[in-house]
Amino acid sequence: MRPRAAEAYAGAVGAVVGDLLQRLQHLRDCHPQHLVPDVAAEFYKFGLEGISSVLFESRLGCLQQEVPRDTEAFIRSINTMFVMTLLTMAMPKALHRLFPKPWRTFCEAWDFMFAFGEGAPGAGGGGDTRRCHPPPGPLMRDIYGNVTELLLAGVDTISSTLSWSLYELSRHPGVQAALHQEVAAALGPGHEPPAAALARMPLLKAVVKETLRLYPVIPSNARVVPDRDIRVGDYLVPRKTLITLCHYAASRDGRFFPAPDAFQPERWLRRGPTRHPFASLPFGVGKRSCVGRRLAELEIHLALAQILLRFEVRPEPGGAPVRPMTRTLLVPEASINLQFLSRRGGRAAGTPPSPTP
């Protein structure tokens, strides 16, 4: 999808961002320390609501106070499927007969997701995964399959990137303050709609690039060249070899990114010798690169801008650092819990001015 095409969905995505803000406001209001526990769980719902508002031009209600049960079950199925992917891939085929549960659970998760994609409002169904009707023909099965893939592709990816962005911003108050200033200036009264104002938010884009450099939600990519040997640098790769690129390792390579483990969004804004174009490729590259990239960026940029305009985000008081781990995708090892403090007149209300990093 080209950037211009994604902009056509700015209205739909903006409405979902509005609902996300209300939900965050409600959750932090209910908590004595204004904490939102496990922000990733909230952003899963945002991701699913965002992608379905674009795909189906209708809403699932994921961000309502009462989340529809099928929607919760869909999100759980995605998680189960990713966990089971690792397990079933690592297990030798012969063992599947002895221990059938992982494979069975994996298939059940996919079955549920396909039924959900087919039953979603706007995909022809009424949101009911238990509907009973004749099975669709091959073309419709392909379409439903693609709808399901798009639905699930837009959940963990968005959730993980938003969660890590806020996690890092909460630990880098200086960057957060600069970003708040940028966002407030661009979105101030009388300015153009938020999606158009994104063009004047270079730091916001740098924050997301830096987050995806440190936490590429799809931590590796694979390719097979089936018909010929290829030479890559000093290596000769025979045809039909599976080549895996580990984004996580490549984008933390100190030769291309000095202080590679540090969160330094400014590095993307510095002028100087051009960076290696393939050093950080969180969306992949080429014909099969991420088809949802522009939509994902629109959702993440709009959500971050609006969240930071309304809240100052701080780490959970006394909370331990959270590390990433691989669960097929790269996810937080433990819940990311964050404090959301209301901003009044540009300063978070009710707390000392300098947060502890």
Query: Applying CB under 6 A, does 282 fall inside the site for ligand HEM?
Result: yes
Please identify, using beta-carbon distances, which residue of 173 and 292 lies nearer to ligand HEM: 292
Looking at residue 311, the DSSP 8-state letter turns out to be E
- For ligand HEM, the binding residues in 22-51 under the rule CB under 6 A are 51
Amino acid letter for position 257: F
User: Considering the rule CB under 6 A, would residue 181 count as an interface residue with ligand HEM?
Assistant: no
Q: Are strands 329-332 and 324-327 parallel, antiparallel or unpaired?
A: antiparallel
Query: How many residues bind to ligand HEM according to rule CB under 6 A?
Result: 23
Judged by CB under 6 A, which stretch of 62-70, 149-157, 170-178, 191-199 contacts ligand HEM? 149-157
Question: Strand, coil or helix: what is 252?
Answer: coil
Q: Quick one: which H or E segment has residue 232?
A: strand 230-232
Position 218 contacts ligand HEM (CB under 6 A)? yes
The DSSP bridge pattern shows strands 338-344 and 347-348 to be antiparallel
Stretch that binds ligand HEM, among 96-104, 123-131, 174-182, 292-300 (CB under 6 A): 292-300
Query: Is there a binding annotation on residue 290?
Result: yes
| SS3 call for 314 | strand
Among residues 4, 97, 228, 288, the one that binds ligand HEM under rule CB under 6 A = 288
Residue 357 Cβ vs ligand HEM, minimum distance, rounded to whole Å? 25
Rounded to 5°, angle at Cα 11 from 9 and 15 = 120
Q: Which of 6-14, 252-260, 288-296, 325-333 is the region at the interface with ligand HEM (rule: CB under 6 A)?
A: 288-296
Q: How far apart are the first and last CA of the chain?
A: 38
215 binds ligand HEM (CB under 6 A): no
Given 10, 150, 178, 184, the residue binding ligand HEM (CB under 6 A): 150
d(CA 338, CA 38): 8
Count CB-CB contacts under 10 A for residue 33: 13
Q: Identify the residue among 63, 217, 304, 329 touching ligand HEM (CB under 6 A).
A: 217
Site pattern 154..173 for ligand HEM (x: CB under 6 A): x--xx--x------------
Beta carbon of residue 67, minimum distance to ligand HEM (angstroms, whole number)? 20
What gap in Å lies between CA 316 and CA 280, rounded to an integer?
30
- Distance between CA atoms of 115 and 25, rounded to whole angstroms? 33
Taking the complex as a whole, the smallest distance from the CB of residue 93 to ligand HEM amounts, in Å, to 26
Q: What are the tokens at 199?
A: 């063009």
Instruction: Return the residue of 285, 325, 334, 349 that touches ligand HEM, per CB under 6 A.
Output: 285
Rounded to the nearest 5 percent, the helix, strand and coil shares of the chain are 50, 10, 35
CB of 62 to ligand HEM, least distance (A): 15
* Residues 263, 166: Cα–Cα separation, whole Å: 12
The residue from 40, 296, 303, 307 that contacts ligand HEM (CB under 6 A) is 296
- What letters, b where the CB count within 10 A reaches 16 and e where it falls short, cover 137-159? eeeeeeebeebbebbbbbbbbbb
| Residue (287 or 344) nearer to ligand HEM, CB | 287
Instruction: Confirm or reject binding of residue 211 to ligand HEM (CB under 6 A).
Output: no
Which residues here bind ligand HEM, judged by CB under 6 A?
51, 149-150, 153-154, 157-158, 161, 212, 217-218, 221, 282-285, 288-292, 295-296
Binding-site annotation, residues for heme: 290
